[in-house]
Amino acid sequence: MNTSELKSRTKAFSISIIGLVEQLPATIACRVVANQIIRAGTSVGANYRAVCRSRSDREFIAKMEIVLEEADETLFWLELIHDKGWISKPIIDELWTEGNELTSIFVASLKTVKAKLHK
């Protein structure tokens, strides 16, 4: 997968997270979780763009680790939303699948660059 495709994919993920948040019930607890997931979920795409501007392998690693952390946090909030039953399972499953796939891509990219540095 090339950089342009991954930029599009992470942006689409951000938009999907926003859509999910717009469907959450209007309760105090949901607002707190909504703030958390929207920050984490949209920062995946925003921070991936920063990764694409990395000037060195070390900078790439540092920035990609932030992307990975935000993606993992987003998965946590999706689990919480699912466990509370606030959103239907098919919607959560679709976002969960995409979040997991993106996380796998980020992990693989990090492993590749780290291996290159240790040669």
3-state SS of 39-85? HHHHHHHHHHHHHHCCCCHHHHHHHHHHHHHHHHHHHHHHHHHHHHC
pTM, rounded to two decimals: 0.92
The pLDDT > 90 percentage for the chain reads 93
What pLDDT shows up at residue 117? 82
- Write the DSSP symbol of residue 118: T
Q: For residue 65, what are its two tokens?
A: 């680790």
CA distance 46 to 108: 19
- The residues, ordered by sequence, that sit 6+ positions from 20 with a Cβ below 8 Å of its Cβ are 37, 81, 87, 91, 92, 95
Q: What is the pLDDT of residues 33-90, one digit of tens each?
A: 999 999 999 999 999 999 999 999 999 999 999 999 999 999 999 999 999 999 999 9
